Amino acid sequence: MSDPTRAQRASSFGRRAAEYAQHRPDYPREAIEWGLSGASGTPRRVLDLGAGTGKLTVGLAALGLDVTAVEPDPEMRAELERVVPSVPALAGEAERIPLPGGSVDAVFVGQAFHWFDAPVALTEIGRVLRPDGVCVPMWNYEDESVPWVAEFTALARDGARRPASVEDLREVTHPEFEPFEIARFRHAQRRTADSLLETMATYSKVIVAAPEESAALLGRLRQFLSENPDTANGEFALPLITTALRTRRR
């Protein structure tokens, strides 16, 4: 597959906003609670930054938190407003957050921190966080310790390099924040071959590829799933690992 620009991929998700809302996985409660436990006191006011269609927003709101979502893409934001109408959804970017200083106890980022200009974004996150508040980026990844999952994800990458490692992002430093901590949580999503292919079709690399390239890739993935005993017969659990980073504002 051709390698489009990072900016092109970062801004591509709105084209598949409804499918993203339907097919991307949620986040485990224990990962969210681990993130919150890094803040002093009892955090109540939470920002979901780069909130997309609200996959993480739903989990935050379920804990009874006072959540505000910020998302730059209007199509993604429209899905968020449909899915979580009780949460204010604001237009904005990580590098320019439309909230006053010191207004939140925690900032969560689901599946988006690697798209940010990290130094600029952390300065802005530090501005809106109260002292001893916490910033918690997290990601869902397929669990490649499972052999068939490792084969599937290698085929899905189609020769492309692996995405930015969370271990690399963990090394990001900023004078207003303590070093990142890391934790991993086992997670799973119920899928069929068809719905897993719908999930893959929401990945930026597939969205921005030429139609014939994305169709060929999805065809190869469909063949793999039809021949793999773990995925060939109806519904199955897709093993996931949720990786969370946590840093406290000084």
If one compares 174 and 158, the residue with the highest pLDDT of the two is 174
**Pair of tokens at residue 157:** 């990458």
**Nearest-angstrom CA–CA distance, 39 and 193:** 40
Please determine, for residue 1, whether its predicted confidence score (pLDDT) is greater than 50: no
For residue 193, the SS3 value is: helix
What is the structure's pLDDT at 2? Answer: 45
Inform me whether the pLDDT recorded for 130 exceeds 90.
yes
Exposure string of 160-195, with b = 16+ CB inside 10 Å and e = fewer, is eeeeeebeebbebebebbbebbebebebebebebee
Q: Are 60 and 29 in contact (CB under 8 A)?
A: no
* Dist. CA 148–CA 146, nearest whole Å: 6
Average pLDDT score over residue span 78-98:
97
Cα distance between residue 185 and residue 243, in whole Å? 6
Residue 162 pLDDT grade (very low, low, confident, very high; cuts 50, 70, 90):
low
- Tell me the HSE value of 208 on the side-chain side, using a 13 A CA sphere: 17
Domains of the chain by range and CATH? 13-148+161-191+239-248 (3.40.50.150)
